Structures are given as C-alpha cells and as structure tokens.
Amino acid sequence: MSSISETPSPPYYAVIFTSVRNECDNGYSEMAARMVELAAVQPGFLGLESARENIGITVSYWDNLESIKKWKANSEHSLAQKFGHEKWYSAFKVRISKVEHQYGI
C-alpha cells in the first residue's frame, strides 16, 4: 500500500491492527492480499493504509461500528484471523478509535 486513503469528513472509525510476524509465511502474502480485496467491498469500508518494517501497522477506516462488527464476523476474515493466531503472528493488537478530526495536504 503506497497511498494515503481519501476519507470523508469525520466522524468515522479507524481499526488499527498492529502486529509482529513470526518466520512462517505459509500462505500469508496471498491471504493478506485477499483481505485487502475483500475489505474493500464490505459495506461501510472507507479505505486502508498499511506499512511493515519490524512491526506491521494496518489501519482500516469504516463508516460505523456496525460495519466493523460485520467485517470481523466475515467468514473469510475469520479464517484469516484463525491462521494469524495459529501461525503468522507472534504478537498483535487491534484497537478501534473514533476519528473526530483530520487535517493534512
């Protein structure tokens, strides 16, 4: 991901997924690409930004909390979460925040 998401005027929500990968790839790259593709067509999805060095940070933007709940419960996303717990991440956190202000160029 190499661009900044064009989000609407606040308020909206940000899901911040911070992770530390372990050595196992075993389908990770393909699943990560699929999750970006799948999230983009979910109702309420507004955009996504991601970066990875030693720690990965992916921020997805959503119109409302109900859309976030539905995304978390999506069957393909649930499978990716299961694999993440079992084989891809040594640590991770998910934080959900309400965006109340934004500015930039």
Query: pLDDT tens digits, residue range 79-94?
Result: 899 988 899 999 999 9
Cα dihedral 70, 98, 19, 67, rounded to 10, equals: 10
Q: Which residue has the tokens 């979460």?
A: 81
Q: What does the chain come to in residues?
A: 105
In a domain, 104, yes or no: no
Please indicate whether residue 32 or residue 97 has the higher confidence score (pLDDT).
Answer: 97
pLDDT of residue 1: 54
Q: Is residue 36 part of a domain?
A: yes
Q: Is residue 105 part of a domain?
A: no
pTM for this predicted structure: 0.91
Q: Is residue 17 part of a domain?
A: no
For residue 55, the domain's CATH number is: 3.30.70
- How far apart CA 58 and CA 60 sit, in angstroms, is 7
Taking the C-alpha atoms of residue 31 and residue 97, their distance in angstroms, rounded to an integer, is 25
